[in-house]
């Protein structure tokens, strides 16, 4: 009987021990590996869109563009053409369509002599305050008048007063193929400040790559041109058409990075002179 109890107790102890061991020796479950971060596909950088509007350009040389607005004028524009021809200078004429239709022979002469004809609207309104359809009519009528006079379409346009929105620039370029030309030199000759003032302002503001604005419908402007042309030539400037100037454009070189200044050496302090030893001579 005692032996049976011993056997039963031994079996029970063995069973409890195996259960405890089983709980303590559960197989390790491998930790779940974190999923790798998605690899972003390499994207090709979008090339910058070509410029469609210009005030001036950067050029490697003394080239400028002389431009004249609002003509042609029956008497003043031929006088201006004479002055340009005598100096072998080229210019770009931004013509008002109404005047172009009235004086096609002047446009033909200008092209024969190497000048460029461009669109300056039909009636010189403020395009920036007009509807798209109204702007379209202004430009198309002038385009037609220029084409009828010289046998080819213009490729440039200048908004009267320089007034045009960014959105208008985009759709005008897309629809007509025009590059929009503003200016960086304005002598305000339309205010008729006097020929010498017009000349002085142009000479002061013009630099390589400049687009110079003037008007061939004001007598004082034409009077200012002989001195203006001669002084510009004396400075070494060469006048070309706007399209020629744009074709010469080069990227603006980056500004050189200033080299760091060397560290300034700290001044070496001179040793403080030691005080002389006290006089040991006994006092009399």
Distance between CA 41 and CA 28 in Å, rounded?
38
Instruction: Please write down the HEC assignment for all residues of the chain.
Output: CHHHHHHHHHHHHHHHHHHHHHHHCCCCCCCCCCCCCCCCCCCCCCCCCCCCEECECCECCCEEEEEEECCCCCCHHHHHHHHHHHHCCCEEEEECHHHHHHCHHHHHHHHHCCCEEEECCCCCCCHHHCCHHHHHHHHHHHHHHHHHHHCCCCCEECCHHHCCCHHHHHHHHHHHCCEEECCCECCCHHHCCCHHHHHHHHHHHCCCCEEEEEECCCHHHHHHHHHHHHHHHHCCCEECCHHHHHHCECCCCCCCCCCCCCCCCCCCCCCCCCCCCCCCCCCC
Structure tokens at 149: 């006079």
pLDDT bucket at 261, cuts 50 / 70 / 90: low
Calculate the alpha carbon distances from 111 to 131, 240, 241 in Å: 32, 13, 11
pLDDT bucket at 269, cuts 50 / 70 / 90: low
Lowest mean pLDDT among 27-41, 97-111, 229-243, 265-279: 27-41
Q: Is the pLDDT of residue 146 over 50?
A: yes
Find the mean pLDDT for residues 207-219: 98
What percentage of the chain carries pLDDT values higher than 90? 71
Q: Which of 69, 143, 189, 216 is catalytic?
A: 69
Find the mean pLDDT for residues 107-111: 98
Higher pLDDT: 130 or 253? It is: 130
pLDDT at 271: 53
Residue 69 falls in the annotated catalytic set: yes
pLDDT at 14: 52
pLDDT bucket at 252, cuts 50 / 70 / 90: confident
pLDDT at 3: 47
Query: Shortest CA distance to 164 belongs to which of 154, 146, 178, 151?
Result: 178
pLDDT at 221: 98
Q: Which of 103, 115, 120, 215 is catalytic?
A: 215
Question: Under a CB-based contact definition with an 8 Å cutoff, are residues 65 and 210 in contact?
Answer: yes
Find the mean pLDDT for residues 2-18: 49
Residue 132 falls in the annotated catalytic set: no
Q: Is the pLDDT of residue 19 over 60?
A: no
Calculate the alpha carbon distances from 212 to 4, 69, 73, 206, 228 in Å: 123, 11, 19, 7, 11
pLDDT at 47: 54
Find the mean pLDDT for residues 100-118: 98
Find the mean pLDDT for residues 65-80: 98
What percentage of the chain carries pLDDT values higher than 70? 74
Query: Shortest CA distance to 93 belongs to which of 76, 112, 110, 113?
Result: 110
Distance between CA 125 and CA 127 in Å, rounded?
6
Structure tokens at 132: 């798209």
Architecture of the domain defined by 78-247: Alpha-Beta Barrel (3.20)
pLDDT at 36: 47
Q: Is the pLDDT of residue 1 over 50?
A: no
Distance between CA 94 and CA 120 in Å, rounded?
5
Q: Is the pLDDT of residue 97 over 80?
A: yes
Find the mean pLDDT for residues 41-56: 71
Find the mean pLDDT for residues 80-109: 98
- Mean pLDDT (the chain) is 84
- For the chain, domain boundaries: 78-247
Higher pLDDT: 26 or 59? It is: 59
Please count the CA atoms within 13 angstroms of the CA of 233 that sit on its side-chain side: 13
The pTM of this model reads 0.75
Distance between CA 3 and CA 6 in Å, rounded?
5
Find the mean pLDDT for residues 199-208: 98
Q: Is the pLDDT of residue 257 over 90?
A: no
Question: Under a CB-based contact definition with an 8 Å cutoff, are residues 211 and 56 in contact?
Answer: yes
Query: Shortest CA distance to 107 belongs to which of 65, 140, 66, 151?
Result: 151
């Amino acid at each position: 009987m005692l032996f049976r109890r011993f056997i039963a107790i031994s079996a029970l102890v063995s069973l409890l021990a195996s259960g405890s061991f089983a709980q303590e020796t559960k197989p390790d479950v491998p930790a779940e590996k974190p999923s790798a971060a998605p690899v972003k596909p390499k994207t090709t950088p979008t090339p910058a869109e070509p410029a469609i509007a210009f005030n001036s350009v950067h050029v490697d040389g003394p080239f400028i563009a002389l431009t004249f607005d609002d003509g042609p004028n029956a008497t003043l524009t031929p006088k201006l053409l004479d002055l340009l021809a005598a100096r072998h200078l080229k210019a770009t004429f931004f013509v008002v369509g109404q005047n172009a239709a009235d004086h096609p022979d002047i446009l033909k002469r200008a092209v024969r002599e190497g000048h460029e004809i461009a669109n300056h609207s039909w009636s010189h309104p403020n395009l920036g305050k007009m509807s798209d359809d109204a702007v379209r009519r202004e430009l198309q009528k002038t385009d037609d008048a220029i084409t009828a006079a010289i046998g080819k379409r213009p490729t440039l346009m200048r908004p009267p007063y320089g007034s045009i929105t960014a959105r208008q620039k985009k759709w005008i370029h897309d629809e007509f193929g025009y590059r929009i030309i503003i200016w960086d030199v304005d002598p305000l000759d339309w205010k008729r400040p006097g020929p010498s003032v017009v000349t002085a302002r142009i000479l002061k503001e013009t630099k390589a790559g400049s687009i110079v604005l003037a008007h061939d419908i004001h007598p004082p402007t034409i009077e200012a041109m002989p001195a203006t042309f001669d002084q510009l030539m004396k400075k070494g400037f060469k006048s070309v058409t706007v399209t020629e100037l744009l074709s010469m454009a080069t990227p603006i070189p980056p500004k050189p990075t200033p080299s760091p200044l060397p560290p300034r050496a700290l001044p070496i302090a001179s040793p403080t002179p030691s005080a002389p030893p006290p006089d040991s001579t006994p006092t009399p």
